Structure 1
Amino acid sequence: MLKDEVELLPATLRRERMLQVIGERGFVRVADLAETFGISDVTVRADLAALQTTHAVRRVRGGVIAGGAERREPSFEEAAVEFAGEKQRIGEHAAAMVSSGASVLLDVGSTTTAIARALVARTDLEGVVVITNGLRVALELEPAIGRIEVVVTGGTLRPLQHSLVDPLGTVLLDRLHADLGFIGCNGIDADRGITNLNLPEAEIKHRMIAASERAVVVADGSKLGQIHLGRIARLEDVHSVVTGPSAPDHELARLRRAGAEVVQVE
C-alpha cells in the first residue's frame, strides 16, 4: 500500500486494515504500524485505543497483539516485551543462585533468557556449565564463554520460540544430572501444577526437571492461575517458584497453601 493512499484512508477503513495487519503478524510495534500506514505514532495509539475498546486488539509493552490471543502461543519476541522489567529482576534473582563450578539446565523462554543475561553479568562466576535447548539463550551466553561453558541439547528447531525439541531433543537430557534447572512455563496453578501451551516443549521441560537436582520454575506474575494443555510437572516435583510483583495475591496464597515454596522478587 502506498503512503499517499493510506494517508487518504478514512479512520474506520484505516483501523480495519490495521486490524488485518495485526491479525496476520500476531504482534506489531507501534513504530511499524506508523511506517506501514504513513501516520504518526500519536495517530496509531489513537487507532489502537479505539480498537481496544471493542476487544479487537490488546496493547502490550512495545506494541499490540490481536484480541483474544491469550490462548495462542506467543512468539519469543512477543513474550520478551511483556513484563520485561519483572523478568529482568527474576533473572537476576535466579542467577544469584548459581555458584562457580555449578551445572545448570536453562530452559527456553524470555524469562530464562533474562537469567542468561544476568549470568553473563556475573563476572565472579567461573567453571559454570549451562545446558540449554534455547538458541537465543545460547547466544546470550556466548560473551561469557571461557567462564561459562555452553552446551546446546540438539533436536528439532521450533521457529516460534527458537527452541530445540524432539525428535532427538531429549537424548542428551537423559544422560545428564545438573545441579540446578531453571524452567519456564505458561501456567502455574495450585491444583493443576505447571503447564505449557506447546506439547513438544512441555515434554522437554518435564525431562529437564527430572535431570535437575534442584528445579526452579521462573515465571512472571501473569502465569499464576493459568492452566494449559501440556502438563509439565506437579508442584511437589519442583523445589521452588520464582515470580514477580505482578503475581496476584490470591494466587500466591493458593500456591503456598498447596505447599509450594514461592519467592516473589520486588
Structure 2
Amino acid sequence: MESLDAEARRATLAALLVEHGFVAVAEASTRLGVSEVTVRTDLTVLAARGIARRVHGGAVAAGSVREAPVEATAERDAELKRAIGGAAAALVTSGSSLMLDVGSTTHAVATALVARTDLSDVVVITNGLSIALTLEAAIPRFTVIVTGGSLRPLQHSLVDALAVDTVRGLHADLAILGCTGVADGRVTNVNLPEAAVKRAMISASTARVLVSDTSKFGRHDLSAVAPLADFGTVVTAGPGADALAVPAATRLVVAA
C-alpha cells in the first residue's frame, strides 16, 4: 500500500466510503500505510469533491455517494421509469439475448419485458436478484441467467470478480444499462463494484442502450462507466428530455 499515489489512495478511500459509509482516520492510516495527517488531507480533498463529509475521527459518505435501497428509488419518479422501461423493452426482439444490470430503471425494463407476451426465446443475463425474480414469470419464454458474485444488500446485486468473470465469458446482442450520472460525455455510477460489472457488460455486447431519466443528466458520480458515445441508444423521460444533447451516432428515444 505504501506505493499508492495520492489519487489511488483517494480512490481507495472513496470505495471504502461507498462500501461502509464511514472511514476512520486511524484505521485508514494503518490500511494504507500512510500517516494520519495524509489521510486527513485525502479526506479533505474528497470532501471538496462532494464525495465525503468530514466528521470527528474520519469522514462519512456524502449524499452524492450514499445509496438508497432499490425499493426506495423505484418509488421515485415511478411513472417516468415505467415509461422508460416500456420504451426500452420495445427494442428487444424474439430470439435475441440481452444483458440487464441492476437498478430501479432496469427493473422497470424487466417488468415491461415480462408484459410483452409476444416475446419468446429470449435470453436475459443479469446480476440483479430482484430482476431475475421478476423475469421468472416469463420462463419458459425467457431463459434467465444470473451471474455469481458477492451480494450487495441495498441493490440486491451480485458484484466483484465472479460476476465480472461470468459476464466476460458470455456475449449478448444487447446490453440495457442504468446509471446514476451522465455529464461531460461520460456515464458514471455511484458504486464502484457495480460499475465494474457494467463495463464488462458493455464489452460483452454488440449494442448498448442507456436507460435514465433526465434527473441523472448533468450529474457526476464516483465511478466512470463508459463514454456516452458507446451507447447506440439513450432512452429517457422527464423535464427537458427533448433537448438533451447526445453524440451524433446515438439515438435519443424520449419515452411518452
Aligned-pair CA distance for 1:156: 0.6
Kindly tell me the number of residue pairs found equivalent between the two proteins.
195
SS of the counterpart of 1:104?
Answer: strand
1:262 aligned to 2:252?
yes
Is residue 228–residue 247 contact of structure 2 (8 Å, CA) maintained in 1? no
Bigger radius of gyration: 1
Aligned-pair CA distance for 1:172: 1.4
Q: Deviations over 1:46-105 (max 9, x none)?
A: xxxxxxxxxxxxxxxxxxxxxx83442222012111110110011111111111110010
Aligned residue runs from structure 1 range 1-266, under 5 A = 69-189=63-183, 191-247=184-240, 252=244, 255-256=245-246, 260-266=250-256
Task: Tell me which of the two structures has the higher relative contact order, counting C-alpha pairs closer than 8 angstroms and 6 or more residues apart.
Answer: 2
Runs of 4 or more, structure 1, over 6 Å off, are none
Q: What amino acid is aligned across from residue 147 of structure 2 in structure 1? A: T
Q: What amino acid is aligned across from residue 213 of structure 1 in structure 2? A: T
Distance in 1 (CA, whole Å) between partners of 2:240 and 2:81 is: 12
SS of the counterpart of 1:114?
Answer: helix
Distance in 2 (CA, whole Å) between partners of 1:238 and 1:165 is: 22
Aligned-pair CA distance for 1:107: 0.7
Normalized against structure 1, the TM-score is what? 0.70
Sequence identity (%): 52
SS of the counterpart of 2:209?
Answer: strand
Distance in 1 (CA, whole Å) between partners of 2:128 and 2:249 is: 30
Aligned-pair CA distance for 1:237: 1.4
Distance in 2 (CA, whole Å) between partners of 1:152 and 1:79 is: 22
